[in-house]
Amino acid sequence: MSHTAHIPSHRKPRRSASKMALRAGVTGGVLSTLAVAGASGAANAAEPVTQTIELPTLTADLSTQVAQSADATQQAAANYQLQAERDEAFAKAADQAKKDQLAAEKKAEAKKKAEAAAKAKAEREAAEKAAASRSSERTTLATATETAAAPASGSVASVISFLKAQVGDAYVMGGTGPNSWDCSGLVQAAFKQAGVDLPRTSQDQSVSGTPVSLSNVQVGDVLYWGGAGSAYHVGVYIGNGQYLDAANPSKGVVIQDLSGYPASGAVRVL
Protein backbone atom coordinates (compact mmCIF):
# COMPACT_ATOMS: atom_id res chain seq x y z
CA MET A 1 0.00 0.00 0.00
CA SER A 2 1.15 3.40 -0.82
CA HIS A 3 1.94 5.75 1.90
CA THR A 4 -0.65 8.15 0.49
CA ALA A 5 -3.36 5.69 0.17
CA HIS A 6 -4.93 6.68 3.41
CA ILE A 7 -5.23 10.40 2.39
CA PRO A 8 -8.51 11.30 0.79
CA SER A 9 -8.20 12.40 -2.78
CA HIS A 10 -8.81 16.08 -3.58
CA ARG A 11 -9.50 15.54 -7.28
CA LYS A 12 -12.78 16.98 -8.31
CA PRO A 13 -15.27 14.56 -9.56
CA ARG A 14 -15.41 14.31 -13.32
CA ARG A 15 -18.26 16.22 -14.84
CA SER A 16 -20.32 14.74 -17.47
CA ALA A 17 -19.77 15.68 -21.06
CA SER A 18 -23.23 17.22 -21.44
CA LYS A 19 -22.79 19.56 -18.50
CA MET A 20 -19.47 20.63 -19.78
CA ALA A 21 -20.84 21.30 -23.19
CA LEU A 22 -23.66 23.41 -21.71
CA ARG A 23 -21.24 25.41 -19.65
CA ALA A 24 -18.98 25.88 -22.62
CA GLY A 25 -21.88 27.19 -24.65
CA VAL A 26 -22.95 29.60 -21.95
CA THR A 27 -19.45 30.77 -21.48
CA GLY A 28 -19.00 31.24 -25.20
CA GLY A 29 -22.21 33.17 -25.41
CA VAL A 30 -21.20 35.42 -22.57
CA LEU A 31 -17.82 35.96 -24.10
CA SER A 32 -19.41 36.72 -27.43
CA THR A 33 -21.73 39.25 -25.82
CA LEU A 34 -18.83 40.85 -24.02
CA ALA A 35 -16.89 40.94 -27.25
CA VAL A 36 -19.69 42.62 -29.07
CA ALA A 37 -20.20 45.06 -26.25
CA GLY A 38 -16.52 45.76 -26.17
CA ALA A 39 -16.40 46.33 -29.88
CA SER A 40 -19.40 48.60 -29.65
CA GLY A 41 -17.82 50.45 -26.76
CA ALA A 42 -14.63 50.82 -28.73
CA ALA A 43 -16.50 52.12 -31.71
CA ASN A 44 -18.44 54.56 -29.56
CA ALA A 45 -15.24 55.68 -27.91
CA ALA A 46 -13.73 56.34 -31.32
CA GLU A 47 -16.59 58.59 -32.47
CA PRO A 48 -18.06 61.54 -30.43
CA VAL A 49 -21.57 60.97 -29.22
CA THR A 50 -24.13 63.41 -30.55
CA GLN A 51 -27.49 63.36 -28.77
CA THR A 52 -30.55 65.02 -30.45
CA ILE A 53 -33.42 66.17 -28.24
CA GLU A 54 -36.64 66.41 -30.12
CA LEU A 55 -39.07 69.11 -28.94
CA PRO A 56 -42.15 68.56 -31.06
CA THR A 57 -44.47 70.47 -28.74
CA LEU A 58 -42.14 73.46 -28.39
CA THR A 59 -41.50 73.59 -32.13
CA ALA A 60 -45.25 73.56 -32.90
CA ASP A 61 -45.98 76.27 -30.35
CA LEU A 62 -43.17 78.43 -31.72
CA SER A 63 -44.46 78.03 -35.27
CA THR A 64 -47.94 78.99 -34.15
CA GLN A 65 -46.62 82.04 -32.32
CA VAL A 66 -44.57 83.12 -35.32
CA ALA A 67 -47.58 82.72 -37.59
CA GLN A 68 -49.79 84.67 -35.21
CA SER A 69 -47.18 87.41 -34.89
CA ALA A 70 -46.95 87.65 -38.68
CA ASP A 71 -50.73 87.87 -38.95
CA ALA A 72 -50.87 90.52 -36.24
CA THR A 73 -48.14 92.53 -37.95
CA GLN A 74 -49.94 92.29 -41.28
CA GLN A 75 -53.25 93.27 -39.67
CA ALA A 76 -51.61 96.22 -37.91
CA ALA A 77 -50.09 97.38 -41.18
CA ALA A 78 -53.49 97.08 -42.86
CA ASN A 79 -55.10 99.05 -40.04
CA TYR A 80 -52.46 101.77 -40.27
CA GLN A 81 -53.00 102.01 -44.02
CA LEU A 82 -56.79 102.13 -43.60
CA GLN A 83 -56.47 104.83 -40.93
CA ALA A 84 -54.13 106.81 -43.15
CA GLU A 85 -56.62 106.56 -46.02
CA ARG A 86 -59.43 107.66 -43.73
CA ASP A 87 -57.40 110.59 -42.44
CA GLU A 88 -56.59 111.64 -45.97
CA ALA A 89 -60.23 111.33 -47.03
CA PHE A 90 -61.33 113.31 -43.98
CA ALA A 91 -58.79 116.03 -44.69
CA LYS A 92 -59.96 116.26 -48.30
CA ALA A 93 -63.60 116.36 -47.22
CA ALA A 94 -62.88 119.08 -44.65
CA ASP A 95 -60.96 121.11 -47.22
CA GLN A 96 -63.77 120.74 -49.75
CA ALA A 97 -66.37 121.66 -47.13
CA LYS A 98 -64.38 124.78 -46.28
CA LYS A 99 -64.18 125.71 -49.96
CA ASP A 100 -67.91 125.09 -50.39
CA GLN A 101 -68.67 127.22 -47.34
CA LEU A 102 -66.53 130.08 -48.63
CA ALA A 103 -68.21 129.82 -52.02
CA ALA A 104 -71.66 129.81 -50.37
CA GLU A 105 -70.75 132.82 -48.24
CA LYS A 106 -69.49 134.72 -51.27
CA LYS A 107 -72.64 133.83 -53.19
CA ALA A 108 -74.85 134.92 -50.28
CA GLU A 109 -72.89 138.16 -49.93
CA ALA A 110 -73.21 138.84 -53.65
CA LYS A 111 -76.94 138.12 -53.48
CA LYS A 112 -77.29 140.39 -50.46
CA LYS A 113 -75.45 143.20 -52.22
CA ALA A 114 -77.58 142.73 -55.34
CA GLU A 115 -80.78 142.84 -53.30
CA ALA A 116 -79.58 145.92 -51.41
CA ALA A 117 -78.69 147.63 -54.68
CA ALA A 118 -82.08 146.74 -56.19
CA LYS A 119 -83.88 148.00 -53.08
CA ALA A 120 -81.87 151.23 -53.05
CA LYS A 121 -82.61 151.74 -56.73
CA ALA A 122 -86.34 151.16 -56.20
CA GLU A 123 -86.41 153.54 -53.24
CA ARG A 124 -84.46 156.15 -55.20
CA GLU A 125 -86.82 155.87 -58.16
CA ALA A 126 -89.87 156.08 -55.88
CA ALA A 127 -88.44 159.12 -54.12
CA GLU A 128 -87.63 160.78 -57.43
CA LYS A 129 -91.13 160.05 -58.70
CA ALA A 130 -92.72 161.40 -55.52
CA ALA A 131 -90.51 164.47 -55.59
CA ALA A 132 -91.39 165.09 -59.24
CA SER A 133 -95.08 164.78 -58.43
CA ARG A 134 -94.83 167.19 -55.50
CA SER A 135 -92.79 169.60 -57.58
CA SER A 136 -95.47 169.59 -60.25
CA GLU A 137 -98.20 170.17 -57.67
CA ARG A 138 -96.24 172.98 -56.05
CA THR A 139 -95.61 174.62 -59.40
CA THR A 140 -99.30 174.48 -60.16
CA LEU A 141 -100.09 175.82 -56.68
CA ALA A 142 -97.58 178.65 -57.02
CA THR A 143 -99.04 179.66 -60.37
CA ALA A 144 -102.56 179.58 -58.99
CA THR A 145 -101.52 181.62 -55.96
CA GLU A 146 -99.87 184.29 -58.09
CA THR A 147 -102.92 184.68 -60.34
CA ALA A 148 -105.59 184.28 -57.64
CA ALA A 149 -107.31 187.15 -55.94
CA ALA A 150 -106.34 188.06 -52.40
CA PRO A 151 -109.60 187.54 -50.49
CA ALA A 152 -109.70 185.33 -47.41
CA SER A 153 -111.28 182.45 -49.30
CA GLY A 154 -108.39 182.46 -51.73
CA SER A 155 -105.86 182.52 -48.89
CA VAL A 156 -107.51 179.51 -47.23
CA ALA A 157 -107.48 177.68 -50.55
CA SER A 158 -103.75 178.26 -50.93
CA VAL A 159 -103.18 176.91 -47.41
CA ILE A 160 -105.23 173.78 -48.10
CA SER A 161 -103.62 173.24 -51.51
CA PHE A 162 -100.15 173.48 -49.98
CA LEU A 163 -101.03 171.06 -47.20
CA LYS A 164 -102.49 168.46 -49.59
CA ALA A 165 -99.35 168.68 -51.73
CA GLN A 166 -97.31 167.48 -48.74
CA VAL A 167 -99.35 164.33 -48.07
CA GLY A 168 -96.95 161.38 -47.97
CA ASP A 169 -93.98 163.39 -46.72
CA ALA A 170 -92.08 162.07 -43.69
CA TYR A 171 -92.56 163.14 -40.11
CA VAL A 172 -89.32 164.30 -38.46
CA MET A 173 -89.20 166.05 -35.10
CA GLY A 174 -88.15 169.65 -35.75
CA GLY A 175 -88.70 169.25 -39.51
CA THR A 176 -89.65 172.35 -41.49
CA GLY A 177 -89.63 170.93 -45.05
CA PRO A 178 -89.45 170.71 -47.86
CA ASN A 179 -89.81 166.89 -47.68
CA SER A 180 -90.09 166.24 -43.92
CA TRP A 181 -92.07 168.03 -41.24
CA ASP A 182 -93.26 168.05 -37.67
CA CYS A 183 -96.81 169.19 -36.90
CA SER A 184 -96.17 172.86 -36.15
CA GLY A 185 -93.54 173.20 -38.88
CA LEU A 186 -96.08 172.07 -41.50
CA VAL A 187 -98.80 174.45 -40.21
CA GLN A 188 -96.37 177.38 -40.15
CA ALA A 189 -95.25 176.70 -43.74
CA ALA A 190 -98.84 176.31 -44.97
CA PHE A 191 -100.00 179.66 -43.60
CA LYS A 192 -96.91 181.35 -44.93
CA GLN A 193 -98.37 180.58 -48.40
CA ALA A 194 -101.17 182.96 -47.45
CA GLY A 195 -98.77 185.59 -46.09
CA VAL A 196 -99.38 184.76 -42.41
CA ASP A 197 -96.42 184.31 -40.08
CA LEU A 198 -97.38 181.90 -37.34
CA PRO A 199 -95.17 181.07 -34.34
CA ARG A 200 -93.04 177.94 -34.59
CA THR A 201 -94.38 175.81 -31.75
CA SER A 202 -97.70 174.07 -31.13
CA GLN A 203 -98.15 175.85 -27.81
CA ASP A 204 -97.92 179.32 -29.41
CA GLN A 205 -99.99 178.41 -32.48
CA SER A 206 -102.84 177.21 -30.25
CA VAL A 207 -103.37 180.81 -29.10
CA SER A 208 -102.47 182.63 -32.35
CA GLY A 209 -105.91 183.58 -33.66
CA THR A 210 -109.52 183.78 -32.62
CA PRO A 211 -110.73 180.85 -30.52
CA VAL A 212 -113.70 179.00 -32.07
CA SER A 213 -115.80 176.11 -30.81
CA LEU A 214 -115.37 172.75 -32.44
CA SER A 215 -119.01 172.82 -33.44
CA ASN A 216 -118.37 175.97 -35.53
CA VAL A 217 -115.00 174.96 -36.99
CA GLN A 218 -114.43 175.96 -40.64
CA VAL A 219 -111.99 174.95 -43.41
CA GLY A 220 -108.58 176.47 -42.66
CA ASP A 221 -109.01 176.67 -38.89
CA VAL A 222 -106.06 175.49 -36.80
CA LEU A 223 -106.93 172.55 -34.54
CA TYR A 224 -104.95 171.75 -31.44
CA TRP A 225 -104.72 168.91 -28.94
CA GLY A 226 -104.05 169.67 -25.29
CA GLY A 227 -104.71 172.95 -23.55
CA ALA A 228 -104.67 176.36 -25.21
CA GLY A 229 -101.16 177.66 -24.74
CA SER A 230 -99.89 174.21 -23.78
CA ALA A 231 -100.93 172.19 -26.84
CA TYR A 232 -98.76 169.24 -27.82
CA HIS A 233 -100.09 168.82 -31.38
CA VAL A 234 -101.68 170.89 -34.17
CA GLY A 235 -103.34 170.33 -37.54
CA VAL A 236 -105.60 172.13 -40.03
CA TYR A 237 -109.29 171.40 -40.64
CA ILE A 238 -109.98 170.69 -44.34
CA GLY A 239 -113.74 170.03 -44.22
CA ASN A 240 -116.06 167.02 -44.11
CA GLY A 241 -114.97 166.13 -40.60
CA GLN A 242 -111.33 165.69 -41.65
CA TYR A 243 -108.06 167.37 -40.81
CA LEU A 244 -104.55 167.27 -42.25
CA ASP A 245 -101.43 167.01 -40.09
CA ALA A 246 -97.90 165.71 -39.76
CA ALA A 247 -99.04 162.93 -37.48
CA ASN A 248 -96.04 160.89 -36.31
CA PRO A 249 -92.98 159.00 -37.64
CA SER A 250 -95.04 155.95 -38.60
CA LYS A 251 -97.75 157.87 -40.52
CA GLY A 252 -96.00 160.97 -41.81
CA VAL A 253 -98.21 163.68 -43.36
CA VAL A 254 -101.79 162.31 -43.65
CA ILE A 255 -105.47 163.19 -43.79
CA GLN A 256 -107.47 161.82 -40.84
CA ASP A 257 -111.01 161.86 -39.41
CA LEU A 258 -111.73 163.96 -36.33
CA SER A 259 -113.99 161.17 -35.08
CA GLY A 260 -110.99 158.95 -34.59
CA TYR A 261 -108.94 161.55 -32.70
CA PRO A 262 -111.09 164.53 -31.59
CA ALA A 263 -109.31 167.85 -31.15
CA SER A 264 -109.26 169.79 -27.90
CA GLY A 265 -109.92 173.18 -29.48
CA ALA A 266 -109.49 175.44 -32.54
CA VAL A 267 -108.39 178.94 -33.54
CA ARG A 268 -109.23 180.90 -36.71
CA VAL A 269 -106.25 182.64 -38.31
CA LEU A 270 -107.80 183.69 -41.68
Task: Read off the pLDDT of residues 154-199 as tens digits, 9 standing for 90 and up.
Answer: 799 999 999 999 999 999 999 999 999 999 999 999 999 999 999 9
The reported pLDDT for the residue numbered 53 is 52
The reported pLDDT for the residue numbered 134 is 61
148-268: what CATH class?
alpha beta
Strand-pairing partners, residue 210, are 268
The reported pLDDT for the residue numbered 66 is 73
Which residues, at least 6 apart from 211, have a Cβ–Cβ distance to it below 8 Å? 228, 265, 266, 267
* 3-class DSSP assignment, residue 112: helix
The reported pLDDT for the residue numbered 41 is 45
The reported pLDDT for the residue numbered 152 is 45
Give the model confidence (pLDDT) of 16-53 as tens digits: 544 444 454 444 554 444 444 444 444 444 455 455 55
Percent of the chain with pLDDT over 90: 43
The reported pLDDT for the residue numbered 181 is 97
pTM of the complete model: 0.46
The reported pLDDT for the residue numbered 193 is 94
Extents of the domains making up the chain? 148-268
Instruction: Evaluate whether 182 touches 175 at the Cβ level (below 8 Å).
Output: yes
* 3-class DSSP assignment, residue 221: coil
Percent of the chain with pLDDT over 70: 69
Q: Kindly list the distances between the CA atom of residue 229 and the CA atoms of 135, 163, 184, 203, 265, in Å, as whole numbers in the listed order.
A: 35, 23, 13, 5, 11
Half-sphere CA count of 260, side-chain side, radius 13 A: 6
Q: Minimum mean pLDDT among 30-34, 132-136, 218-222: which range? A: 30-34
The reported pLDDT for the residue numbered 146 is 41
Q: What is the mean pLDDT of residues 99-128?
A: 87
The reported pLDDT for the residue numbered 104 is 87
**Band (60; pLDDT cuts 50, 70, 90):** low
Which residues, at least 6 apart from 230, have a Cβ–Cβ distance to it below 8 Å? 203, 206
- pLDDT averaged over every residue in the chain: 79
The reported pLDDT for the residue numbered 137 is 57
Task: Enter the DSSP assignment of 226.
Answer: S
Q: In terms of Cα–Cα distance, which of 237, 238, 256, 229 is closest to 171?
A: 256
Give the model confidence (pLDDT) of 253-267 as tens digits: 999 999 999 999 999
Instruction: Evaluate whether 206 touches 222 at the Cβ level (below 8 Å).
Output: yes
Q: Minimum mean pLDDT among 80-94, 118-132, 254-268: which range? A: 118-132
Q: In terms of Cα–Cα distance, which of 220, 221, 225, 217 is closest to 248?
A: 225
The number of beta carbons lying within 10 Å of the beta carbon of residue 200 is: 15
**Band (151; pLDDT cuts 50, 70, 90):** very low
Q: What is the mean pLDDT of residues 133-150?
A: 48
The number of beta carbons lying within 10 Å of the beta carbon of residue 223 is: 26
3-state helix, strand, coil in the chain (%, to 5): 55, 10, 30
Instruction: Evaluate whether 225 touches 231 at the Cβ level (below 8 Å).
Output: yes
pLDDT at 105 over 50: yes
**Band (15; pLDDT cuts 50, 70, 90):** low
pLDDT at 123 over 70: yes
Radius of gyration of the chain (CA): 68
